[in-house]
Amino acid sequence: MRHEARPRGPAWILLAFLAVLLIVTALDASAAPAETDWHLYTSEAVVDTLDGAVSDVFKAGAFVLVEDHWEIEKQDAEQGFLVTGWKPVKHALARFAVGQSRVRVAVGLRSLGPARTEVTVKGGIASREVLAGPIENLARKAGTHECEGYVEELKERLADERLSDGAGSGTPRGNAEKR
């Protein structure tokens, strides 16, 4: 009697994936959580000191967020903060691992002198599912990594602004000391 082997390879993996996806979708549809059933996780704060007055860093920071397709929900130049709205996570693997989730960014600025600003950036992820173990650690690390990337983009924007205003010394003209 000839035994046929179970399907293996890409077709079998696809079939298994679709079966799991169908089950997860059915379970999700039958237990739609209320709007308050979100679990919040935050990344480690990324802190850096940048050359520039708070007002200059604030403008550059807002520009970078908008360029990265964030909607700024709250902002106050006097208090030195920017907070984005929640944005759905679109990465397919992340959605599969953590379910329905959203992310946001908060930026705080503190003057350290006329042309020095401390920048603190913290990311948050809200998930319908409780994250635990390696998934929670990966989500927090990914948030920290994104915040580090934002700080690098902010530094680049400030450098571009310094170069475009003709003040090659690294100090924006508006903050340069009078001679």
Query: In the block, which residue shows the tokens 């700080």?
Result: 151
Query: In the block, which residue shows the tokens 């200059």?
Result: 56
> What average pLDDT score do residues 140-151 get?
94
What b/e sequence results for 124-161 when a residue is b if at least 16 CB atoms lie within 10 Å of its CB, and e otherwise?
A: bbbbbbebeeebbeebbebbbebbbebbebbbebbeeb
Domain boundaries, given as residue ranges, for the chain = 35-175
Q: Which of 38-52, 83-97, 115-129, 158-172 is least confident?
A: 158-172
Identify the pLDDT of residue 132: 86
Name the architecture of domain 35-175. Answer: 2-Layer Sandwich (3.30)
74 or 171: whose pLDDT is higher? 74
Total residue length of the chain: 179
At position 153, the amino acid (one-letter code) is E
| CA separation for the pair 57, 46 (Å, rounded) | 15
CB 121 within 8 A of CB 147: yes
- What is the reported pTM? 0.71
Q: What digits encode the pLDDT tens for the residues 34-82?
A: 566 899 999 999 999 999 999 999 999 999 999 999 999 999 999 999 9
